[in-house]
Structure 1
Amino acid sequence: MHPTPVDLHEQPPQHVEATSSSHPRGLYLLFATEMWERFSYYGMRAVLVLFLTDAMLMDKAFASKFYGGYTSLIYLTPLIGAYISDRYWGNRRSILTGGLLMALGQFILFASASNYGPATTHPLSHWLLYLGLGAMIVGNGFFKPNISSMVGSLYTPGDKRKDAAYTIFYLGINLGSLIGNTITSTVGDTGHPSDFRWAFLACGIAMTLGTLVFNWGKTKYLHTPQGQQVGTTPAHSTTVKGLFALLPVLLVLVLGILYLDSTKVSVIAPLLGLAVVGIAFMVFTDKSLSAADLQGVLVIFVVSFFVVFFWAAFEQAPASLTFFAKDNMDRTIFGHELPPSLFQNLNAFFVVTGAPLMALLWTALGKRGLEPPSPVKMALGLALLALGYLVMCFGVKGLQPGVKVSMFFLVALYFFHSYGELCLSPIGLSLVNKLAPVKFASLLMGVWFLANAGANYLAGYMSSLYPDPQSNAPAPVLLGYQITNLYDFFMVFVVSAAVAAAILLTISGKLVKIMNAREAEAA
C-alpha cells in the first residue's frame, strides 16, 4: 500500500477565525482523527494479551513481556517520525503515512487471527502477528507525535486555552478508546479464540476512517488564528518523496528488534537509554537555544522521568489487571458474565465523563488565580494512582484460593486511575508544547512518548511478575521483595507511585520558577 500524496501547495482558508473563548474548528478535526485512531489502538490492545494467551497459546509471563516490547516500541518510534516530520515531511504528510500503515497492520492481524495456533503448528500466523504489529509500530511513529503537536500550533503563544484544548483533545482519545474497546470486547473476547479476528478487522476499518477524515479537513481547518496553514511541508525540505523508501527499512528494523527482544535477548531497554542520551546531546549542544530554552527542556526531561512511574503502573490494565479480571474476579452481573477485556473500558468511561469536569475546574480555578501549576497537577495524578492500587490491596488481602473478588475493587481502581490520568497526561502534553523550543517541538514531544516507551516496557516486565497460581514456577522476586500473592503484587505499585508523587511535589516549586521564566521569554 502506498501513502496518499499530500498537496505541497495548499492554499490558506478564505476566512480567518478570530481569537475568542471558543476553540478553533481545527481542534475538532484533530479530535475526530485521534478518536478513530485510538479506537484502533485501544480496541486492539484490549484483546491483545488474551489473543496471545488464548489463541496463540503463549504463557502469561511471555505474553506480558511481548506486550511490553510492542507497546514500548509504539512509543519509541515517534522519535524517528518526529525528526522526519520536523525536517522533511511536515505534520500532515506524516499523519497520513502513519494512518495508512496502522490500518494495514490491523488488517494483517486479522489474517493472523484467521489461522491461529501455537508457533510449532502455525508458524505463518505468528509471522503475520509480528508483521502486523511491526506495521502499526512504524505507522504510530509518524502519526502520534505529529497530531499531538498540531493541537498547540492552532493557538498563539501564551494562549490560556491550551490546557483546556489538550483536555478536550484527550477526551477524543478516550472516546475512541471507549467505543473501540466496547466493540472489540463484544465481537472478539467471546471465549472463542476464532472471534479475535473480528476485533482486528473492526480496528482496521476505524483506522481507515480516521485517515480519511483527516485528509478531508486538513486544508480547510488546520491553520493559526491569523490564517497561516500549520503542519505543511517545511520550506527548506528538499527530500520528501524519496524518504518513503525508508519505510521498508524501518519495518524490517522494528521487526528484528521485536523478535530479538521477545525471544532472545533484551535490546529495547538499551535502545531507550541511547535515545535519551542522544536527544539530550542533540538539544543541549544546540548553540542557537537560549538559557531559558534549555531550562525549559530540562523541565521536560525531569517531568518525563516521573511520568515513567505513572504509566508503568497504569498500563497494567491490558495485562495483569486483565489476567486478574479473568481469573480472580466475579464478572457476573444480572446473570451474565462480562468479558474480562471489557473492564478496561472503565478507564475510558471515567475519562470521557470526567474530562469536561476537569476542564471546567482548571478554567474556574485559573480565573480566580488558584489553578495549581502543572507539576503539582501531575503529582496529584501519581497520588491518585497509588490510591487506586491501595483500594485493590484491601480487596485481595488474605484472599483464599478459588475465591472471587467483587468487581467493586477494580471499578474503584479505574476510577482513581482515570482522574489521576486527567491530572497528568493532558497537562503533560500541554507542558511539553509550552516549553519546547519551536525548532525541536515535535522531537521534544517525542521525549514525552519516550517516557511512555520506558514505562510500557517496564509495565510488561512488571506484569510478568503477576503471581499465577496455575504456574509451577517459583514466586517472582523484585529487588529482593518476594511476590507470593496478589496483595504483594499490587503493593509494589502503591509504594512506587506514592514515593514518586512525594518527590515531584517537593521539587515542583523549582520547576515552576523555570517554567515561568521560559514562558515570559516566549511572550
Structure 2
Amino acid sequence: MNQAKHPKQLYLLFFTEMWERFSFYGMKALLLAYMVTQLKFDEPKGYAILGAYSALVYTMPMFGGMLADKFLGYRRAIIFGGVMMAIGHIVLAIPQDWSFFYGMAFIICGNGFFKPNVSSLVGTLYDNNDPKKDSAFSLFYMGINIGAALGGLLCGYVGQKINWHFGFGLAGIFMVLGLIIFILGKASLKEKGLPITNDLNKKIAGIIKVEHAIYLLTLLALPLIVTLFNYYEALDSIMLVLAVISVTYILYLSSKLEKEAKFKLLSALTLVVVSTLFWAFYEQNAGSLNLFAMRNVDMHVFGMELPALSVNNFLPPAWVIIMSLIFAALWPWLNKRGLEPSTPAKFALSFIFVALGFFTFYLACQASLGNGLIPLLAFVGGYFFIICGEMCISPVGLSMITKLSPVNIVGLMMGIFFFFTAIGEFLAGKIGALMAIPKHVIEANNPVLSLPYYANVLLQISIYSAGIGLFIFLLVPILKKWMGNIR
C-alpha cells in the first residue's frame, strides 16, 4: 500500500483522534479499579456502573451524529464535543465525591458529538469504492490505538502507583492537545464537514438560536445522566427501548428508498446489530480482565513486577498498532488478487478470532490451577487473537457505514453503529459480573481461589463467540447480495 496516496487531511484527523483517545482510554483504564479499591463499591455494583458508563458513552453518538447531519456539521460537533470532554477530565481530577459522576457525564456528552463525526469526516475524504478507503480506516484506527496504548500505559501507571486523580488529570491534558490540533488544522478540510443547511441561526420561538439550543440542552442533560448512574438498573429498559426505536426508525427510512439503496442500508443495519455481541465479549478488557490481570496474571518480568492496570490497558491497543499496519496492507493486497473477504465475512471472522483469544486464556487457566497465576506470555497471546478479531470488525465497520448509508444519514448511521456498541458495552458489564469474586475470596488474597471464577466464564465466552461466527458465515451470501456492488 502506498500511504502517500492518502490525503493529508487523514493525518490531521489521525492525530486529533489519537490524543482524544489517549484521554478517553487513559481515564477508562482507571474506572473499575478506582471504584472497587478507592470508592469501595462491591464488584457487581462496579461492573454495573462501568457498563452504564460505557453504554451511555456509546449511546450519545447516535444523537451527536444526527445533530451533526441535520444542523451542526461535523466540524462544530467535533469542537463542542472536545470541549465537553476536556471539562469532564478536569472535573474527574478534582478529589471530591460529586466530581466522579459529573466528570463522567461531561465525557459522555462530549464523546457523543466528537466520536461519530471524526469517523464520518474520514469517510468524506474518499469515494465509496476507493480501495484505499478500508485501508484509510485501518490507519485511522491505528491512530486511535496509539493514543489508547499511551493513555492506558501512562494514566494506568500514574493512577495506580501515584495518585488516582493525577491519572484522570493527565488524561485531560491530552484531550486539550487533541482539540488544539483539530482547531489549528481544520482550514485544510476546506468545505468538508461544514453544515449542509442554514438552520443553525434560526431562532426557536424567536428566543434562542438552534445552535445555542443544542449546546444548552446538552448541558441540561448532565444532571439526568448523573441520576441514571444512581439508578443504573433502569438502563435495562432504556437500552431496550432505544434499540427498538433506532431499528424501527432505520427500517422506516429504508422503506422510503429505492430498492438498491434500501437493501444496502438493511445490510448495514444487520451487521451493526450482530456487532453488539462482539463488543459484549471484547469489552471484558476494560472490566473483568482488568481485575483478572491484577489477581491472576504473573506480572513479573526479569525479577521486576509490572503494574497490572498499565499492562492490561496497554496490550490491546499495542497489538492494534501492530496489526493495523498489517491489515492496512493485507486488505488491498488480497483485493488485487480477488481474495479479499467480503465485509460480512470479515465480521464472521472477528467472532472466530475472539473465540480463539478467550480459549487461550482458558487453557492458560487450566494449566495454572496449581499456583493461580497464568503466564504473562499467555495473556499477551490471547490478546493477539482478540485484536485480530477487532481488526476485522471495527475499522471495517466504520468504513462499511460510510459506503452503505445514504449520504444524508451517514452521521446518524455512524451514531447507531456506536449505539449498538453501547448495548454491547452494557452487556459486557453483565458478563463481567458473572466473574465477580466473592468477598471472602478477595479477603483471602489467594489467586488459586479466584482463578476458577474467571476460567469458567472465559470458556463460555469462547464457545458462544465461535457459534455466532459460524452463524454469520451462513448469512454471508444473503448479505453480499443485499450489498450489491459494495464489498
Unaligned stretches of 5+ residues in structure 1: 1-18, 115-124, 224-228, 474-482
In the TM superposition, 1:80-159 aligns within 5 A as 80-111=63-94, 114=95, 125-159=96-130
Do the aligned partners of 1:467 and 1:484 also contact (CA within 8 Å) in 2? no
Q: d(CA) in 1 for partners of 2:54 and 2:21?
A: 14
* Gap change, CA 1:398 and 1:357, over 3 Å in 2: closer
Q: 1:255 to 1:366 in 2, by over 3 A?
A: same
1:186 CA displacement:
2.2
Instruction: Give the CA deviation at 1:409.
Output: 1.9
Q: Does 2:26 align with 1:43? A: yes
Aligned-pair distance for 1:425?
A: 0.8
Provide the TM-score with structure 1 as the length reference: 0.86
Q: Which runs of 5+ in 2 are unaligned?
A: 203-209, 443-450
**Is 1:182 paired with 2:153?**
yes
Tell me by how many angstroms 1:294 deviates: 2.0
TM-score for the superposition, normalised by structure 2: 0.92
Task: Tell me by how many angstroms 1:401 deviates.
Answer: 7.2
Pairwise mapping of residues 400-415 of structure 1 onto structure 2 (< 5 A)?
Answer: 400=369, 403-415=372-384
| Structure 2 counterpart of 1:384, from 333, 353, 356 | 353
Deviations 1:391-428 (A, max 9, x none): 11111127547532211221111111111111111011
Alpha-carbon distance, 1:472 to partner: 7.2
Give the whole-Å Cα distance in 2 for the aligned partners of 1:139 and 1:444.
18
Q: CA deviation at 1:308?
A: 1.4
SS in 2 for 1:158: coil
User: Match of 1:209, as an amino acid?
Assistant: L
**Where in structure 2 are the equivalents of 1:23-102 lying within 5 Å?**
23-102=6-85
Number of the residue aligned with 2:432: 463
**Following the alignment from structure 2 to structure 1, what is the Cα–Cα distance between the partners of residues 197 and 369?**
66
d(CA) in 1 for partners of 2:474 and 2:412?
A: 28
1:270 corresponds to:
237
Inter-partner Cα distance in structure 1 for 2:364 and 2:3? 49
* Residues 467 and 489 in structure 1, CA contact (< 8 A), matched pair in contact too: no
Q: How does 1:96-495 map to 2 (within 5 A)?
A: 96-111=79-94, 114=95, 125-190=96-161, 195-220=163-188, 222-223=189-190, 229-237=191-199, 238=202, 239-261=210-232, 266-286=233-253, 288-343=256-311, 344-397=313-366, 399-400=368-369, 403-471=372-440, 485-495=453-463
Counterpart CA distance in 2 for 1:62 and 1:276 is: 24
CA contact (8 A) 1:383 1:497 kept: yes
Partner-residue secondary structure (3-state), 1:157 = coil
Distance 2:52 2:423 in 1: 10
Cα gap change, 1:513 to 1:471, in 2 (>3 Å): farther
> Quick one: distance in 2 between partners of 1:248 and 1:508?
43
Q: Kindly tell me: are residues 240 and 469 of structure 1, through their superposed partners in 2, closer, same or farther at Cα, counting changes over 3 Å?
A: closer
**Secondary structure class of the residue paired with 1:188:** helix
Q: CA deviation at 1:342?
A: 1.6
Distance verdict in 2 for CA 1:290–1:400, change over 3 Å: same
Q: Secondary structure at the match of 2:192?
A: coil
Give me the whole-angstrom Cα distance separating, in 2, the residues matched to 1:486 and 1:274.
32
Q: Secondary structure at the match of 2:197?
A: coil
Shift of 1:203: 0.5
Hey, what's the Cα distance between the residues in 2 that align with 1:283 and 1:458? Answer: 23
- Sort the Cα spacing of 1:319 and 1:232 in 2 relative to 1 into closer, same or farther, 3 A: same
Alpha-carbon deviation of 1:20? 10
1:275 alignment partner AA: L
Distance 1:334 1:436 in 2: 52
Find the aligned partners of 1:353 and 1:20 in 2 and give their Cα distance.
16
Q: Deviations over 1:417-450 (max 9, x none)?
A: 1111111110111111100111211111111101
> How many angstroms apart in 2 are the aligned matches of 1:335 and 1:392?
23
SS in 2 for 1:289: coil
> Could you tell me how far 1:255 is from its partner in structure 2?
1.8
Q: Partner of 1:77: helix, strand, or coil?
A: helix
SS at match of 1:235: coil
Q: Which residue of 2 aligns with 1:496?
A: 464
User: Percent of counterpart pairs with the same letter?
Assistant: 32
Cα root mean square deviation, aligned: 2.0
Supply the distance in 2 between the matched residues of 1:154 and 1:171 (Cα, whole angstroms): 17
Aligned residue identity for 2:240: G
Q: Greater helix share, 1 or 2? A: 2
Cα pair 2:70 2:197 within 8 Å, conserved: no
1:12-42 per-residue CA deviation (whole Å, 9 max, x = no partner) reads xxxxxxx997011111111111001100011
Q: CA deviation at 1:52?
A: 0.9
* Contact 2:105–2:222 (Cα < 8 Å) also in 1: yes
Deviations 1:37-92 (A, max 9, x none): 10001111111111111111112221111111101100001111112111111111
Distance in structure 2 (CA, Å) of the matches to 1:342 and 1:187: 9
Deviations 1:235-262 (A, max 9, x none): 242322332221222212222222211x
Partner AA of 1:212 in structure 2: I
Question: Per the alignment, in what secondary structure is the counterpart of residue 485 of structure 1?
Answer: helix
Deviates more, 1:205-214 or 1:51-60: 51-60
